[in-house]
Amino acid sequence: MVDPNKIEPELNTHRIAYFAGLIDGEGYIGSIYHKRHNTTYIKIKVNMTSHETIMALKDFFGGNIHKRKHVDGNKQQWEWRVSCKKARIVLNLIRPWLITKATKVDEVMGVELKYRGKGKNKAA
Q: How far apart are the C-alpha atoms of 37 and 121, rounded to whole Å?
A: 8
Other C-beta atoms lying within 10 Å of the C-beta of residue 120: 8
Q: Of the candidates 103, 47, 55, which has an alpha carbon nearest to the alpha carbon of residue 75? A: 47
Q: How far apart are the C-alpha atoms of 23 and 27, rounded to whole Å?
A: 4
pLDDT in tens, 78-88: 999 999 889 99
Q: What's the confidence (pLDDT) of residue 47?
A: 96
Q: What's the confidence (pLDDT) of residue 69?
A: 86
**The pLDDT of residue 120 is above 70:** no
Higher pLDDT, 119 or 32: 32
Backbone φ/ψ region at 84: left (φ over 0), alpha (ψ -120 to 50), beta: left
CA distances from 54 to 13, 19, 49, 82 (A): 19, 10, 8, 12
pLDDT in tens, 8-64: 556 688 999 999 999 999 999 998 888 887 888 899 999 999 999 999 999 999 999
Please, what are the domains in the chain?
A: 4-115 (3.10.28.10)
- What is the arithmetic mean of pLDDT over 85-113? 89
